[in-house]
Chain A
């Protein structure tokens, strides 16, 4: 199966993903400061009951991101086996 491009808001819990790009410079700076950069390989760890916010792993800590921001983060889903 080919790898799929989508935004972070559309990922499910446990999905292995790679961050491709962040569309907003202001948000991107903040995310980089917290460790979320392009090329980061990560995983969706938790999703809140109403589908918002969602939490991902950033090298040892869990970051919760509101859906509105997650929509601006383009990711590639890893190949499924």
Chain B
């Protein structure tokens, strides 16, 4: 039996869904659109029920993308998700508002179950609903009361869906029968008004008193011009701190574990291509996916709380006016801020943005925010080309440069957002009408399920792409055309320097020669003429290519090229050899100009395959990640070129 779960936003629909399905849920998309589809199943009395949690809507009039999905599926009996039964969830405290959608659903002539959720809360507020009288108005529906937040009412819903009442075909309003395809806006309005009026008089019969919302003291605090922003900033700082610092412990652990696993595998298996593929391609590839899980989990834990409590909509309320000129949404603040730690959870968190255009712009500019993976690159290059010292006696010059790089990314993101706002067409006609739900404590079960969902999406959807790309990169860096790798290895081994070197240096020398003669090495040399105007040579070229896997790979790649594999995190030897590195004409490779140019390159370039994979997942097409890759690449090239030109 197929069930559609429908209701207005903020009626506790998701809690009902979680209550019925537990962890037996799945996230996908509705065919052809980017609207998220949550489905799940459960069994009751040996009968299987498949349930789809539709996006929350106020009516069946297709206005936004979400509403279109609902209207399309319920309008077509042959669509895959067309239900046998509808569970309509309403908030008991807002019966009159919520009945608008329900009366439309009632007219679809499908069996319905009307769930009066948050029943206890309405009781507590003195709202008395005469269920018998309500039942008389909708004789063909089964009415149940629930309090899904604390898990009350599951049995009642199960009993209701096991014995659904059939519909006898009367319409709630007469006008509903004449559903001519194209109504004028005026006719639509009149029809909505008729329905609304009828609901109003009906509710007057069954309900004693309406709830009146006053602004609570907490709300006044949240939207206050001073305390409101201060509080939001504090929340962001806390989130950011947690993601930035505390995620590093599990991340280091994952990094170490996969390193050990890879090492163990290669030393316990027979030597050969397959062993290399697994130990150097696949295991690090999987590790490179899993390593993002702590950040994703932490971010969505916080976002889950913010959403559940209703605070997130207050954020939108105070940020909307500020972000609007940039083509962004009040909700864009969270994805952009989180992207300062890592763009991957940042991009995924843009899901909370309802408007497609605003969400897309947020996703496209998020990777311009300098993430934590850029830090190793920045710090290495700053230490290399920026002198230590102070301006005005207290401003650390290296610190100013680092701050400038972050600022450059943020300004870049805003400027690009503004340009994209002018270019991208808006798909949905929607204009923002936002509900501010009552503030309430979070339901931890729902937060937890939300975190698991995000991890699952990342691991299984984006993970596939990331592993595939990292295997390709591994192949390109380990194999080369013809016998070159072998030949040059031979010449390295037979050189006098090699004979005199220590065991460690010997290994460094061969891996340096291997990388230089691999496909990527050749590619690095091939692109040298293109990156020369930016102040780079082929060795930097190779590192640019390999660091498409992830930005921090840049440092490791340079270490390999310069044959100075450091133990631990201290890149002292690498810095030493980079300082001594000379161009063919004898001038140093890393000057103030070329170093700055390289840093600017990393501010703008999309050097992260995982972000590409996540953007593909979130936008459901290769179009947007490729556009993003392109414009970020163009920006990186152009600004590095300008930087090098002016500083040389």
Chain A positions within 8 Å of B, measured between CB atoms, are 13, 25-35, 37, 43, 45-53, 55, 57-66, 68-69
Contact = CB atoms under 8 A, between A and B. Distances in A.
8 contacts: A26-B185, A30-B433, A32-B193, A48-B321, A49-B321, A61-B94, A63-B433, A64-B317
B61 A58 contact: no
Nearest to A25: B185
A33 B215 contact: no
B56 interface: no
A62 B58 contact: no
B188 A25 contact: yes
Interface residues of B, number: 48
B459 interface: no
Contacts of B189: 25, 28-29, 32
Interface stretch (B141-149, B224-232, B355-363): B224-232
Nearest to B316: A64
B100 A61 contact: no
Contacts of A30: 58, 61, 63, 431, 433
Contact of B186 (A25, A51, A65, A66): A25
A66 B355 CA distance: 15
Nearest to B60: A33
B431 to A, nearest CB: 6
A37 B219 contact: no
B96 A35 contact: yes
A33 B192 contact: yes
Given A33-B59, A49-B223, A60 B97 contact: yes
A13 B185 CA distance: 32
B93 interface: yes
A34 B58 contact: yes
A64 B320 CA distance: 11
Contacts of A25: 184-186, 188-189
Interface in B197-225: 210-215, 219-220, 223-225
Contacts of B100: 33, 35
Contacts of A35: 96-97, 100, 196
Nearest to B313: A64
B437 interface: yes
A59 B317 contact: no
A63 B436 contact: yes
Nearest to B320: A53
A62 B213 contact: yes
Contacts of A61: 10, 91, 94, 97, 213, 435-438
A8 to B, nearest CB: 13
A37 B196 contact: yes
Nearest to B200: A37
B185 A64 contact: no
Contacts of B91: 60-61
A34 B431 CA distance: 13
B215 A45 contact: yes
A69 B431 contact: yes
A66 B58 CA distance: 18
B33 interface: no
Given A33-B59, A60-B210, A46 B97 contact: no
A10 to B, nearest CB: 17
B173 interface: no
Given A25-B185, A69-B431, A33 B317 contact: no
B434 interface: yes
Nearest to B432: A66
Contacts of B133: none
A46 B58 contact: no
Contacts of B212: 43, 57, 59-60
Q: Which 7 residue pairs are nearest across A and B when measured between Cβ atoms?
A: A25-B185, A60-B211, A49-B225, A62-B436, A35-B97, A33-B59, A57-B213
B318 A32 contact: no
Contact of B435 (A29, A64, A69): A64
A49 B97 contact: no
A9 B638 CA distance: 45
Given A25-B188, A33-B61, A35-B196, 11 more contacts: A25-B189, A26-B429, A33-B100, A34-B433, A35-B100, A45-B213, A48-B317, A49-B321, A59-B96, A59-B97, A60-B91
B322 interface: yes
Interface string B301-330: 000000000000100111011100000000
B186 A59 contact: no
Nearest to B183: A29
B417 to A, nearest CB: 19
Interface string B62-96: 01000000000000000000000000000101101
A65 B189 CA distance: 19
A34 B290 CA distance: 43
B322 A50 contact: yes
A53 B321 contact: yes
A63 B219 CA distance: 13
A29 B215 contact: no
Contacts of B437: 61-62
B307 to A, nearest CB: 16
A58 B188 contact: no
A35 B318 CA distance: 23
B527 to A, nearest CB: 48
A65 to B, nearest CB: 6
Contacts of B213: 45, 57, 60-62
Contacts of B96: 35, 59-60
B97 A34 contact: yes
Contact of B433 (A43, A49, A51, A64): A64
B223 A27 contact: no
A6 B229 CA distance: 30
Contact of B228 (A49, A63, A64): A49
A9 to B, nearest CB: 13
A61 to B, nearest CB: 5
Nearest to B429: A26
B89 to A, nearest CB: 15
Contact of B192 (A32, A52, A68): A32
A46 B212 CA distance: 14
Contact of B58 (A33, A59, A60): A33
Contacts of A13: 215
A13 B318 CA distance: 15
Nearest to B222: A46
Contacts of A58: 97
B193 A37 contact: yes
Contacts of B432: 53, 64, 66
Contacts of B223: 46-49
B425 to A, nearest CB: 18
